[in-house]
Amino acid sequence: MKIGIIGAGHIGQALARLAVRAGHQVTISNSRGPETLTELGQRIGCAVATAAQAARFGEVVVVTVPFTHLFQIDPAPLAGKIIVDTNNYYPDRDGRIAALDRHETTTSALVAAHFPRSRVVKAFNAILATDFDTPAPLAGRRALPIAGDDAEAKRIVAALQDQFGFDTLDAGSLADSWRFERAKPAYCIPLDRAGLAAALAQAQRDVELPHGSWRRG
């Protein structure tokens, strides 16, 4: 499969490594231009490009940039593509977004509105970048949540998660994706499938865990 990655931060790099190891063709990009990614591409074994080129390249395109920067991406090259949305809303970084603060929508619903001709799947937002390479010890495989409105797109993303070494728990539609957004019980906490199901069920829309409680060490 051809996978484009827009955003070469820790999550983007980790997903690029996993995808290359799984035998996929990967093109990674950032906002500064491919000339700044030459060494990274050689180290991972993937191609480097502009964001528009990565968008056109991928059958699946991972968008992993700071949340508000996402809305600067041209939606046209992503029409018809599966977008994997790894984003989270951090008010200290992103500024206050009233509709999110009032729980009127979800981050991924806003993403889907910006990319109306794409199939958005919320995934890989509820795991720390370091946990891709040094997973926490669990009796079984770690489970990661996904959400989306397109069943086939979710099936494809779940298959990728399986190839990357994770179980998948479908948390429902994009409207349900708040259950594993920032500061919810399932956010970045290493859990197996049963534990993740329980954490998703425990989530309350108006209740947040203390800031940073999901970070270990």
Q: Could you please report the per-residue DSSP string of 155-215?
A: HHHHHHHHHTT-EEEE--SGGGGGGGSTTSTTTT----HHHHHHHHHH--TT--PPTTTT-
Confidence of residue 184 (pLDDT cuts 50, 70, 90): very high
Rounded Cα gap, residues 166 and 184, in angstroms: 20
Indicate whether 113 belongs to any domain: yes
Convert the pLDDT of each residue in 46-56 to its tens digit.
999 999 999 99
pLDDT > 70 in the chain, percent: 99
- Mean of pLDDT over the chain: 95
Exposure string (b/e) for 178-205, b if CB count within 10 Å is 16 or more?
A: bbbbbbbbbbbbbbebebbbebbeebee
pLDDT, average across residues 153-182: 97
In-domain check, residue 22: no
Distance between CA atoms of residues 66 and 13, nearest Å:
15
Q: What is the mean pLDDT of residues 172-182?
A: 97
- Give the least confident one: 9-13, 45-49, 61-65, 205-209: 205-209
| Domain-embedded: residue 79 | yes
CB neighbour list of residue 144: distance below 8 Å, 6 or more residues apart:
123, 124, 126, 127, 161, 166, 167, 168, 169, 196
How many angstroms separate the Cα of 216 from the Cα of each of 130, 134, 179, 200?
Answer: 10, 12, 20, 20
| pLDDT for res 215 | 67
Q: Which domain holds residue 109?
A: 66-202
Residue 176 inside a domain? The answer is: yes
Residue at 212 is within a domain: no
In a domain, residue 20? The reply is no
Indicate whether 213 pLDDT > 90: no
* pLDDT single digits (tens) 12-59: 999 999 999 999 999 999 999 999 999 999 999 999 999 999 999 999
User: Which pLDDT score is estimated for 217?
Assistant: 45
* Res. 125: pLDDT tops 70: yes
Residue 36 domain-assigned (yes or no) = no
The answer to whether residue 202 scores a pLDDT higher than 70 is: yes
Check which CATH number belongs to the domain holding 192 and give it.
3.40.50.720
pLDDT of 155 reads: 98
- Please give the average per-residue pLDDT across 192-205, as a whole number: 96
Q: Is residue 61 part of a domain?
A: no
212 Cβ contact partners less than 8 Å away, ≥ 6 residues apart: none
Q: How many domains does the chain have?
A: 1
